[in-house]
Structure 1
Amino acid sequence: MVQIHEVDTGDPRDVERFVQFPFRLYRDCPQWVPPLLSSARKQLDRQRHSFYRHSDAGFFLALQGNEVVGRIAVLEPRKRNTYRGRKGAFFYLFEVIEDITVARALFSAAFDWARSRGLEEISGPEGFAAGDGLGALVKGFEHRPAMGISYNHAYYDRFIQDSGFRKQTDYHSCYVPGTIELPERFCRVAEKVKERRGFRVLRFRTKAELRAMAPRVVDAYNAAFAENREFVPVTGEDAERIVDRMISLTQPDLVKVVAKGDEIVGFVLGFPDISAALQRCRGRLYPFGWMLLMWEMRRTRWINFNGGGILPQYQGLGVNAVLYYEIYKTLQERRFLHADIVQVNEQNAKMMQEMEALGVDFYKTHRIYERVL
């Protein structure tokens, strides 16, 4: 018999049961990448995580006897709801053994929690802030996920749909080999666009330079994605948290910003993929995990491009060609062997077509689901 237990986020033992369950669920799965345990615990910390300054969340465990067999988080994103005029919830951090009755019990608890707050719809998996991985994996189970992106068992799609969800949208991740060769004509076009339009590419040598530019990149992000589904401006503590995470995980020369005069018109963010080190240290920074992560950041031959955009008034003016050329040059200059362009929304038809024309492989797909309550 399945029992549902609401996590007391003030009880460290309860929090630990919630955080540790995926480590047991995926212990024999070579593709799964554990989160940093400190970050996973912080998601349940109502005093420290910026999400709780404006929103709320509930966390549930499924138990058979004393054994944890599933978990789910349900979020009330009040900031999103106010901005978008919605009464919606997100589900997130869903993990379950291969038992559909456990999944049904978890979703039932999530639905009840959301309804009790007057919410009328639920979608997910969607997280606490911009930059959290989106969706449940539905294609590419043989591949390791990009850093910060979820991995799950293949039966999740069936279990989620069984609880009344339907597809909302898909996000595709693209594999680019380091040996890719852009046509010479394409490179010439990118250079001519810069010359004719007065664009220049800003490069960074230190993290201090990157931090000084970060508020302007956040502003550019807000402008570039204002019309996207579920967009909410990144501001205040949420922006500070995202900037801190970005700067801690990247290297200055992997961030490329296109400017016209003093105005940022486009950007792309690259991150060394340290997933292999996270697997080796099992998500623990101490005593030696941080050393493994720093070493992997210098030696990895994988790069993730996770975050990029063009201001609406500059779309169609060739900024995309400049950014693609910068991605290509990054691969060549740093001698990366593999690149993952992370989670391109299928509704971004233009970018999907451009990626296909460049010969990339859409090798992983994550799905967002939705249903009414």
Structure 2
Amino acid sequence: MKRVVPVNSKPQLAAFIDFPHELYKDDPCYVPELFIAQRDLLTPGKHPFHEHSKLQLFLAYDKDKIVGRIAAILNNNHNKFNEAEDGFFGFYDAVNDGEINALLFQEAEKWLREQKVKTIIGPVNFSTNETCGLLIAGYDSPPFAMMTYNKEYYESLVDQAGFRKKVDLVAYRFGEDGYDDKSVRLKEALIARLKNKGITLRTVNKKNFDEEVVKIREVYNSAWDRNLGFVPMTDKEFDYLAKDMKMILDTDFCMVAEKDGKVIGFSLAIPDINQLLITIRKGRLLPFGLFKLLFGLKKINGIRVLALGVLDGYRKLGIEACFYALIIEAYRRKKYKRAEASWILENNDLMNTALQHIKGVPYKRYRIFEKAL
């Protein structure tokens, strides 16, 4: 008997988090999420998302075996900021079974209709500030840190459920030497020109990390306000993310631009922690996973350029080019072998052109879908 049930207990939540491990057990590109991080993310009282919004998790069974999962998500802050009536689906995984897939989406859509939303969008794990997008091209390599991965048949299953494309997101690849270093050659001249305008660039000061976070948060919540589906992060949400980032942060890859003491832009690249997570069985840090993380950071040879934003009014002055130059210099100095810039909206012509100019190769594509309810 095939059925879908709501998740209402800790054992069910654990089963929800663990289901992908069985589904992807023979897939060399699968990277397990850390159990403790997923548990806190999905538990009211643990993650600040739950202070303003809500979700319902569902598990699909075929007889007594778990064969799928999905989350129905109501992000009230998203709807308020975008003046929308949207719901989301996320944390979606399923076997290649049309009936199971239909049952999962039926339950998620039913719950969202009860919340009075008009559209369902996804996959989005809370908002575009977290992991989002269904991989539709580029299955031959593991995802970089904080990027999604899924089976090839997922696109067909989502199509069968009546969804249509909303927008695609693009990831760019860079090899050890496969990039244009023009920005590096021009860096000193660009920095001098910016200095004449009263703009300086520096790395983030970890000793004053809390103060830095406050300054960067203001830029983050302003620089992306025109992006598709963006919703500003609350102070608690940004602090929660920053606390996680601090554990792996390399300040050589985290920079800010300032004018008159005010942060007007920042860039962030993070070590590809997935190179370690892929070795941690079922995302459990104990008994040995913690040691793999602590002693494995120095072995990471890749970075993901996660964010690069400049406030409106200061764009196209050369700040972005300087950020790229500083990232490339640190990349060379630390002898990294590969990098990814992700994700970029397919219609963000400014960023796509800039990445192509420095010889970025678009190699993975993700899709966000939508459906009227």
Structure 1 residues 76 and 27: alpha-carbon distance in aligned structure 2, compared to 1, 3 A threshold: same
1:180 shift after superposition? 3.5
Paired amino acid for 2:121: S
More displaced 10-residue stretch of structure 1: 321-330 or 58-67: 321-330
Map of 1:235 onto structure 2: 234
CA distance in 1, matches of 2:137, 2:25: 21
Map of 2:321 onto structure 1: 321
CA distance in 2, matches of 1:130, 1:285: 27
CA distance in 1, matches of 2:127, 2:284: 23
Map of 1:160 onto structure 2: 158
Paired amino acid for 2:330: T
1:193 shift after superposition? 2.3
CA distance in 2, matches of 1:299, 1:131: 28
CA distance in 1, matches of 2:63, 2:327: 52
SS in 1 for 2:279: helix
Q: Map of 1:83-102 to 2, 5 A cutoff?
A: 83-102=81-100
1:129–1:238: 8 Å Cα contact kept in structure 2?
A: no
SS in 2 for 1:245: helix
CA distance in 1, matches of 2:98, 2:141: 25
Map of 1:194 onto structure 2: 191
SS in 2 for 1:243: helix
More displaced 10-residue stretch of structure 1: 222-231 or 17-26: 222-231
Question: 5+ residue gaps in structure 2?
Answer: none
1:323-346: CA deviation from partner (whole Å, max 9, x where unpaired): 211221121121111111121111
Map of 2:268 onto structure 1: 269
Paired amino acid for 2:100: V
CA distance in 2, matches of 1:181, 1:134: 27
Paired amino acid for 1:363: Y
SS in 1 for 2:186: helix
CA distance in 2, matches of 1:183, 1:52: 44
CA distance in 1, matches of 2:260, 2:290: 40
Map of 1:359 onto structure 2: 359
Q: Map of 1:177-188 to 2, 5 A cutoff?
A: 177-180=175-178, 182-184=180-182, 186-188=183-185
Map of 1:296 onto structure 2: 296
Map of 1:246 onto structure 2: 245
Q: Map of 1:47-196 to 2, 5 A cutoff?
A: 47-129=45-127, 131-180=129-178, 182-184=180-182, 186-196=183-193
Paired amino acid for 1:110: A
CA distance in 1, matches of 2:344, 2:150: 19
Paired amino acid for 2:284: R
1:89-134: CA deviation from partner (whole Å, max 9, x where unpaired): 0100000001111111101111100001111101011122554211
2:257–2:266: 8 Å Cα contact kept in structure 1?
A: yes
Please report the TM-score for the alignment, with normalisation by the length of structure 1. 0.95
Paired amino acid for 2:257: V
CA distance in 2, matches of 1:240, 1:124: 25
Paired amino acid for 1:368: I
Number of paired residues?
A: 369
SS in 1 for 2:42: coil
More displaced 10-residue stretch of structure 1: 308-317 or 68-77: 308-317
CA distance in 2, matches of 1:340, 1:363: 9
Which 4+ runs in 1 deviate beyond 4 A?
Answer: none
Map of 2:330 onto structure 1: 330
Question: 5+ residue gaps in structure 1?
Answer: none
2:223–2:310: 8 Å Cα contact kept in structure 1?
A: yes
The answer as to 2:10 corresponding to 1:12 is yes
Please report the RMSD computed on the Cα atoms of aligned residues, expressed in angstroms: 1.5
More displaced 10-residue stretch of structure 1: 16-25 or 263-272: 263-272
More displaced 10-residue stretch of structure 1: 54-63 or 303-312: 303-312
Structure 1 residues 274 and 173: alpha-carbon distance in aligned structure 2, compared to 1, 3 A threshold: same
Paired amino acid for 2:211: A
CA distance in 2, matches of 1:208, 1:342: 28
Identity, % of aligned positions: 28
CA distance in 2, matches of 1:245, 1:138: 28
CA distance in 1, matches of 2:185, 2:270: 27
1:197-246: CA deviation from partner (whole Å, max 9, x where unpaired): 22322124x63234431111111111111222212222221121121122
1:181 shift after superposition? 5.1
Paired amino acid for 2:95: I
Structure 1 residues 178 and 256: alpha-carbon distance in aligned structure 2, compared to 1, 3 A threshold: farther
SS in 1 for 2:126: coil
1:237-274: CA deviation from partner (whole Å, max 9, x where unpaired): 11211211221232222212122331222211111112
SS in 2 for 1:95: strand
1:34-76: CA deviation from partner (whole Å, max 9, x where unpaired): 0010011123311212111000101111111110000000100
SS in 2 for 1:335: coil
